[in-house]
Amino acid sequence: MIKFDNVKKTFRRTEVLKGMNLDIQKGDRIALVGSNGAGKTTMIRCLLGEYTCEGQVLVNGHDPREERELILKDIGFVPQLPPPLKMPVGQLIQFSASLCDADPQEMISVLERLGLNYDELKSRPFVKLSGGQKQKILISIALGREAKILILDEPAANLDPEARHIFFQLLAEKKDEAVMLISSHRLDEVAALVNRVIEMDQGIVVLDDCVEDSVDLDSVLKSEIKIKRADEAFAKAIKAWRFESQDGILWQGVVAGPDRLRFLGVLSRYAAILQDIHMEEQKQ
């Protein structure tokens, strides 16, 4: 479906992609990981036809640079940093939907599933929104249309746990019909979402491995956490995950299945006061 054949990209004298080879097949959900400067963003921009490069990038046998409209119609993209667009949210959605021949109502319904109120936001300039709100709108535009390839650059970085859970559900709905390429600095952020990991370093693929993908994207873990004594910092951290407690000792809530590693990472910071952890998977 997507093929990188000996792709090289040089900026002045710096070679950022050094003959990259990669085949991506239908059904692949890929975590694209690597440190800063590894070449992830450059690779994504070559795939979007935004950069010229040596070698060949093909999407379904077509060059995304030469046949932009044909290829990009099938690609939903969420950038790491939201663009500082001054246009109102309503116009951004109408503009994107018109260009993609999509139904703006689909985008709006995704946006509302992510917890935003369209009527409140539609006349507000995009640039004035919070980081999380911007991220949700860009996700709505990418997922609210018939995209066969989803390119997501740190997509859940600014989302709260509730929105992350809904985002995972949205991805689960798309997982059989779309290829996903999820870029992240950290594997643990995206590990549960993917079935393949590609690590880049110094402009080449250094690791291409399959991942056990038994985690349901739309599952939840009913959880109970007991701590030794009430702790203000712990309470603040666990409330961000929408956990509740009567006495500050026993906390109850749900964690999205793909978020389990991230949640356990938060708990690990309070290992000294943890007394009991119980997590039970439930299919929604």
Please report, as ranges, the residues that interact with other proteins according to CB under 8 A.
45, 48, 50-52, 68-73, 75, 77, 79, 81-88, 91, 95-96, 98-100, 125, 138, 151
The minimum distance between CB 52 and other proteins, in angstroms, equals 6
**Which residues have a Cβ under 8 Å from the Cβ of 120 and sit 6 or more positions away?**
none
Residue with tokens 């906390």: 251
For 16, 35, 39, 51, 58, the CA distances from 203, given in Å and listed in that order, are 5, 11, 5, 15, 18
φ, ψ of residue 247 in degrees (nearest 5): -115, 0
Q: Which is nearer to other proteins, 83 or 131 (CB)?
A: 83
The minimum distance between CB 255 and other proteins, in angstroms, equals 31
The minimum distance between CB 18 and other proteins, in angstroms, equals 18
The minimum distance between CB 83 and other proteins, in angstroms, equals 4
List the alpha helices (DSSP H) in the chain.
Answer: 40-47, 68-72, 89-100, 104-113, 118-121, 131-143, 161-174, 187-190, 232-239, 260-268
Q: Which is nearer to other proteins, 66 or 120 (CB)?
A: 66
The minimum distance between CB 45 and other proteins, in angstroms, equals 7
The minimum distance between CB 117 and other proteins, in angstroms, equals 22
The minimum distance between CB 98 and other proteins, in angstroms, equals 6
Q: What is the DSSP letter of 128?
A: G
Q: Which is nearer to other proteins, 155 or 257 (CB)?
A: 155
Q: Which of 16, 39, 76 is nearest to 200 (CA)?
A: 39
Q: Which is nearer to other proteins, 82 or 248 (CB)?
A: 82
**Which residues have a Cβ under 8 Å from the Cβ of 96 and sit 6 or more positions away?**
102, 107, 141
Residue 168: CA count within 13 A, CB half-sphere: 26
Residue 147, SS3 per DSSP: coil
Q: Which is nearer to other proteins, 72 or 191 (CB)?
A: 72
Q: Which is nearer to other proteins, 121 or 138 (CB)?
A: 138
For 187, 203, 208, the CA distances from 22, given in Å and listed in that order, are 19, 12, 9
Q: Which is nearer to other proteins, 19 or 125 (CB)?
A: 125
Burial (0-12, 13-18, 19+ Cβ within 10 Å), 269: exposed
